[in-house]
Amino acid sequence: MKIPLSWLKDYIDLNLPLLEIARLLTNAGMEVEEITLIGLPNPYEQDATLRREYKVSGLSWDADKIVVAQIDEVQPHPNADRLVLCRLHDGQQEHLVLTGAPNLFPYKGQGPLPKPLKVAYAKEGARIYDGHQPGQVLTTLKRAKIRGVESYSMVCSEKELGISEEHEGILFLEEDAPTGTPLVDYLGDAVFEINILPNMIRNACVLGVARELAALTGQPLRKPQPRPQYSGESLAGAVSLEISDPTLNPRFLLGLVRGVSIGPSPAWVQRRLRLAGMRPINNVVDATNYVMLALGEPLHAFDYDVLVRRAGGKAPVIRTRAATPGEKLTTLDGQEHTLESYTILVCDEAGPLSLAGVMGGLESEVTPETRTVLLEAASWNYVNVRRTTTALHISSEAGYRFGRGVHPALAHPALEWGLENIVAWSGGEIAQGILDQYPNPPHDPLVRISETDVQRLLGLHLPAAQIAALLERLEFTCQVHGDCVEAQTPPHRLDIGEGLTGIADLIEEIARMIGYDQIPFRRLSDTLPEMRPLPHLALEETVRQVLARQGMQELISYRLTSTEREARLIGEQPEQAYIRLKNPLTPERSVMRRSLLSSVLEALEKNARLRNRIACFEIGPVFWPVEGQQLPDEPQQLALALFGQRLPSTWNHNNNEAFDFYDLKGVLEGVFEALHIAVRFVPAQRTGFHPGQCAELYAEETCLGVMGALHPETQARFDLPNTPPVLAAELSLAALLAHTTTRRETRPVPIYPPVLEDLAIVVEEELPGERVEAVIRQAGGALLSDVRLFDVFRSQALGSGKKSLAYRLTYQSMDSTLTDAEAAKIRQRIIRRLEQELGAKLRS
Amino acid sequence: MSEEAAIRAEMEQTQQQALTALQTVQNEAELLAWRNAHLGRTAPVMLFFSRLPQFPKELRPQIGQAANQVKLTLEAAYEARRQELQASSLQQRLSSERVDVTLPGRRLPLGHLHPSTQILAEICAIFGEMGFQVYRSPEVESDENNFELLNIPAHHPARDMWDTFHTTRPGVVLRTHTSPGQIRAMRQMAPNPLRVILPGMTYRYEQTNASHESQFNQVELLAIGQNITFGDLQGTLTDFARRMFGAEVHVRLRPSYFPFTEPSAEIDIECFLCGGKGCTVCKGGGWLEIGGCGMVHPVVLRNGGYDPARFTGFAAGLGPERIAMLKYRISDIRYFFGGDLRFLEQF
Ligand SMILES: [Zn+2]
């Protein structure tokens, strides 16, 4: 919302620096996003030590170089038809000024003007905007010769002065503008661009902001007091009104002006509208917009004669109602809309006239031919207005305000002011009487707030009298009863609730008025809640740390993906397997992921071209819809992938071994060691994985997840080279958590020396190494403290289908030094069991 | 010349020759050879001893002594030369082993945690010290928890504040903030005092650019009890900011609007890069916006199961990626979840 300072000053005396006003507004919840200078000096240029807390833009007018001047005569140019010479007085001396402004041509060659034209005059060296370039390009006025005439100064357009984009002609000032006065003193202004919060729509107008400033500064507020002259023929019989649903349309007023002549508004009105960001249209439409910008109540003007014509020459009947689904209306922007039942319409007997509270219809809008204006001021259900603007993608000033709720009480003064402005700017006479139907006035809450409430919420003691005083500044009517204040909500705001909500609303008003920074800081002293154990977070943290320590990079991917992308790993899934977006930004991100590994592989795919070694992991949720459940399950998963060179090559050492199955297994074993979980790797067949290099991971009878090399076909679908292989795993963190324990027994460190021994055996190729080790451990018993495989060997000498496994065995007793004889006994027992149970042969 | 003088001259010569030869010895092997030649059993000096019986008896002691003197001289010279050689060979080895200390080191690959993880952990740890425990809640949420129960009815103007991803399931959205977790936490803990921190991923239906993402983390604080005021909120956030950004950092709360808190505020911290003097990061203003906060709205308290007449609470939401971007001067928010290792490996 753009609020011109000069307009604010209509309603409040403000003698504060611009930055102070911006600070007051911002600290009261009306964040000033920008201050645009219209001539006033730039505070940051005046004091370079100021923090640039607010964005300041616009043009400052040099007081001695840009002044109010009067044109006494407009003379033709001796050798250029499109130019004129102005005999101009700047209060000190007379100048002859060259210009091509078309709005001076009517005065050309008329000799000395009976009423001099007051203009903005820029002297040599003045800094202004270049009128001939798009946008705002700063230029300094220099002496030049144009068509043989010396030129060193100029009369300015609004664009050159930074008032608006207007450059059709020069700016004419009011007749009483004092010649010789610096223009900045006469016309200097600033516009505050304010961000209006959703609950502060009451401040989307100049009066609203002035009211806040009055409350914050203690200055009195001068509310506009419209006094229209109802002197014309009576409204009675000229129009009638029916509200079909007061919940949709709590209030509707109509007034009539006969005999208007449509034309431009007065220059000052146009200037104000432009400063506030609106385009002047004509004197009637501008009158409605002016009231909306000043008071916050949007008005709508109908061409009354069009309504009479539609009524077949009879008095029109205005009716407000919900639209019939499928009903059509063309709005004044030329768009045809097909409507739903939530849209409220203003209709006559011939059909819809306008989208209530949103935009007028094309047919009944005010045109240059309009002679009689029917003026509407109404109030609408904000939900219906919002649904309409959202569904029809209409953004209008009226829709913006009504869609957030405008108090119906505003409609009456707004109508009166609108009528007054129309007559003042367009002529005509106001019909006697207005129509005012008010079937559904809102209840303005009476809120009881006590000193205790303020203490309880703000931690601040304020006497009841002070609470009342603060609220009264915002026009609440207050009565103090002991430590309690009864505050009656003023009839311009709909944001105050009842009961405890009302108290919270008032607390906010009190806090805004005293300033948040005046509320003392405290350290929490309330009772501490009971502590909850959070084992799942501890587990995640451990897993992250262990993986990072093993050189793995953590990723966090987009959780939104597409079924096609995931199908590359997990295959086609049924429709109901996914949480699907109704409004995706792109088809590539239209479902919530089912597979975390798929996310990780996507990252791998993106990085594979850029590097020859990737080791990464992600911990995060996947989204699994469950039949009969509104929300999906969101289990936390762990996914890992290894790809490329096992170790980075260095300048003097070339590492060209690629990651393989056992690298990934080793990383996982590291995780399980850190979590103290015993895990079995069981050969498995899983979609997406290499059939011979895939394992399911089991802790007791629970499957924790899957790991292995990707199937070459999967790898190809991911736009990855065929070799080296991608090693990948996905595990359930919940399953890990179920099998980890925080309690365990720590082995004492042995004090006697161990006996170390190697044992090589030959077994069938098919026999899993795990079984061999299990038999060795069982047979070895308590004194066999460690078994480590150090070689796997195949050869012709061993025969096909055979392999040799070599183990380093550690015998260790906690009570004594083991003798060779004792060790040999255990060894014999191991060999015997291996031979008997696995058909193993000792390798000589 | 007497016999004695002759033998003495011979000894003198032997010694001189040996010492001269020793000067040419350059390594361990030559040194050993020299030792065999000049101090070995058949060395000239040793021969003097075996020739002793040839001399008259009375001369023998003097000649023997002289020969011994030569032997001792040579042995001393040998030892000196040996040490010299040892020192020089060590010197040689050391100089041959010199490395270029400026060449790159050989590194084991280092894993890094994601910057969001790190910042979240830091934030959670700081609030953890103040008694806030982590509470997680679902990312796919009901409209009821994400909006309705947070005092944001359908078609309320405040809904404009969140562009929402809707799912094809009626009434199910991707959470637009971590605030629905407030409702879940309250309903679980009411009527006991509550202090939780809700970290997690949130989603907005928003075209992405360098400063906007459709997915980002949020951290939300929630404290509910019978003695919690707006002053506590300001104090808690100030303590946090000083732990996170530096002991001198000031916090400013600026009035704002959120439907689930009242009074509501934006949280500004004094720019820690310029100390509030104004720089490019804070766009000259000296303040950085890091989140929003306020006193929990009575309707939300009631929806969570707390009697708003007895309980009050505060809530605050912070953006970890936003904080990381400020702390680490990250220019584009899309880096966070884009998965480019060249970005992630910098943390
Ligand atoms: Zn800064």
Q: Do residues A331 and A337 make contact, with C-beta atoms less than 8 angstroms apart?
A: yes
Residue A553: strand pairing partners: A616
Residue A297 half-sphere exposure, CB side, CA atoms within 13 Å? 26
CA B333 to chain CA centroid, Å, is 23
Residues in chain B: 347
Measured in Å, residue B284 CA sits from the centre of ligand 1 at: 6
3-state SS assignment for residue B22: helix
Indicate the pairing of strand A477-481 with strand B251-258.
Answer: unpaired
Top residue of A450, A531, A578, A582 to mutate, by most chain B CBs within 10 Å, is: A582
CA A257 to chain CA centroid, Å, is 44
> Is the pLDDT score of A214 beyond 90?
yes
Reported confidence tier of residue B276, pLDDT bands at 50, 70, 90? confident
Give start and end residues of each alpha helix (H) in A175-319: 183-187, 206-217, 267-275, 283-295, 304-310
Question: Which A residues, 35 through 94, put their C-beta within 8 Å of a C-beta on chain B?
Answer: 51-55
| Average pLDDT estimate for A247-258 | 97
Q: Maximum Cα–Cα distance for chain B, whole Å?
A: 136
Reported confidence tier of residue A744, pLDDT bands at 50, 70, 90? confident
Residue A413 in tokens: 């003064």
Q: Which H, E and C letters describe A648-664, residue by residue?
A: CCECCECCCCECCHHHH
Residue A175: strand pairing partners: none
Residue A357 in tokens: 């509270």
Contact list in B for residue A647 (CB cut-off 8 A) is: 108-109
Q: Which residue of B has its CA nearest to A501?
A: B298
Q: Do residues A784 and A777 make contact, with C-beta atoms less than 8 angstroms apart?
A: yes
Note whether B110 contacts A530, CB cutoff 8 Å. Answer: no
Reported confidence tier of residue B54, pLDDT bands at 50, 70, 90? confident
| Average pLDDT estimate for A387-415 | 95
- Closest to A672 (Cα-Cα) out of A731, A725, A617, A597: A731
Task: Find all residues with CB under 8 Å of A476, minimum gap 6, and list them.
Answer: A487, A488, A489, A490, A506
- Interface check for A501 against chain B (CB to CB < 8 A): the answer is yes
Bond preceding residue B263 cis, omega within 30 of 0: yes
Q: What's chain A's average pLDDT?
A: 93
- Interface check for B77 against chain A (CB to CB < 8 A): the answer is no
A747: burial class by Cβ within 10 Å (0-12, 13-18, 19+)? exposed
The owner of tokens 């991923």 is: B201
> What one-character-per-residue DSSP string does A101-164 give?
-GGGGGGBT--S-SSPEEEEEE-TT-EEE-TTSSS--EEE---EEETTEEE--EE--HHHHTS-
For residues A204 and A843, give the distance between their C-alpha atoms in angstroms, rounded to a whole number.
93
3-state SS assignment for residue B75: helix
Q: Do residues A64 and A131 make contact, with C-beta atoms less than 8 angstroms apart?
A: no
Q: For residue range A154-184, list pLDDT tens digits in order.
A: 999 999 999 888 888 899 998 889 999 999 9
Q: What's chain B's average pLDDT?
A: 92
Task: Find all residues with CB under 8 Å of A499, minimum gap 6, and list them.
Answer: A447
Measured in Å, residue B251 CA sits from the centre of ligand 1 at: 14
Top residue of B122, B132, B166, B167 to mutate, by most chain A CBs within 10 Å, is: B167
Residue B213 in tokens: 């993402």
The owner of tokens 């140019």 is: A77
For residues B53 and A779, give the distance between their C-alpha atoms in angstroms, rounded to a whole number.
81
> What one-character-per-residue DSSP string does B253-320 give?
EEEEEETTEEEEEEEEEE-TTTTTS--TTTTTSSEEEEEEEEEEPHHHHHHHT--TTT-EEEEEEE-H
Q: Do residues A707 and A693 make contact, with C-beta atoms less than 8 angstroms apart?
A: no
Contact list in A for residue B111 (CB cut-off 8 A) is: 547-554, 615
Picking from A544, A550, A611, the nearest residue to B117 by CB comes out as A544
- Interface check for B107 against chain A (CB to CB < 8 A): the answer is yes
Q: For residue range A568-625, list pLDDT tens digits in order.
A: 999 999 999 999 999 999 999 999 999 999 999 999 999 998 888 999 999 999 999 9
3-state SS assignment for residue A390: helix
- Closest to A364 (Cα-Cα) out of A353, A352, A373: A353
Picking from A512, A606, A650, the nearest residue to B255 by CB comes out as A512
Contact list in B for residue A603 (CB cut-off 8 A) is: 339, 341
Q: What is the pLDDT of residue B57?
A: 85
Picking from A459, A582, A631, the nearest residue to B231 by CB comes out as A459
Question: Which A residues, 126 through 145, put their C-beta within 8 Å of a C-beta on chain B?
Answer: none
3-state SS assignment for residue A622: coil
Q: For residue range A262-300, list pLDDT tens digits in order.
A: 999 998 999 999 999 999 999 999 999 999 999 999 999
| Direct distance between the N- and C-terminal alpha carbons of chain B, in angstroms, rounded to an integer | 93
Picking from B133, B142, B228, the nearest residue to A630 by CB comes out as B142
For residues A664 and A643, give the distance between their C-alpha atoms in angstroms, rounded to a whole number.
10
- Interface check for A281 against chain B (CB to CB < 8 A): the answer is no
DSSP state of A265: P
For residues B88 and B92, give the distance between their C-alpha atoms in angstroms, rounded to a whole number.
6
Q: What is the pLDDT of residue B1?
A: 56
Q: Maximum Cα–Cα distance for chain A, whole Å?
A: 136
> Is the pLDDT score of A79 beyond 90?
no
Question: Which A residues, 536 through 595, put their C-beta within 8 Å of a C-beta on chain B?
Answer: 537, 541, 544, 547-560, 579-585, 589, 592
Q: Do residues A231 and A429 make contact, with C-beta atoms less than 8 angstroms apart?
A: yes
Least confident of A117-131, B48-62, B305-319: B48-62
Picking from A27, A524, A610, the nearest residue to B232 by CB comes out as A524
Element spanning A45, H or E:
helix A43-46
Question: For B115-344, CATH number?
Answer: 3.30.930.10
The answer to whether the Cα torsion of A454, A456, A459, A463 is positive or negative is: positive
CA A639 to chain CA centroid, Å, is 32
Least confident of A19-28, A203-212, A617-626, B153-162: B153-162
Reported confidence tier of residue B105, pLDDT bands at 50, 70, 90? confident
Q: Do residues A204 and A402 make contact, with C-beta atoms less than 8 angstroms apart?
A: no
Note whether B253 contacts A647, CB cutoff 8 Å. Answer: no
Task: Find all residues with CB under 8 Å of A527, minimum gap 6, and list them.
Answer: B193, B225, B226, B227
Contact list in B for residue A403 (CB cut-off 8 A) is: 157
Residue B171 in tokens: 């009434």
Residue A172: strand pairing partners: A119
Higher pLDDT, A143 or B122: B122
User: In which order are the strands placed within the sheet that holds A344-348?
Assistant: A240-243, A317-322, A344-348, A351-355, A359-360
For residues B240 and A79, give the distance between their C-alpha atoms in angstroms, rounded to a whole number.
75
- Interface check for A634 against chain B (CB to CB < 8 A): the answer is yes
Q: Sketch out chain A's domains with CATH numbers.
A: 2-60+190-217 (3.30.56.10), 66-187 (2.40.50.140), 240-437 (3.50.40.10), 446-516 (3.30.56.10), 535-738 (3.30.930.10), 755-842 (3.30.70.380)
**Side chain identity at A152, as an amino acid letter?**
Y
Top residue of B129, B175, B337, B347 to mutate, by most chain A CBs within 10 Å, is: B337
> What one-character-per-residue DSSP string does A716-745 give?
HHTT--SSSPEEEEEEEHHHHHHH--S---
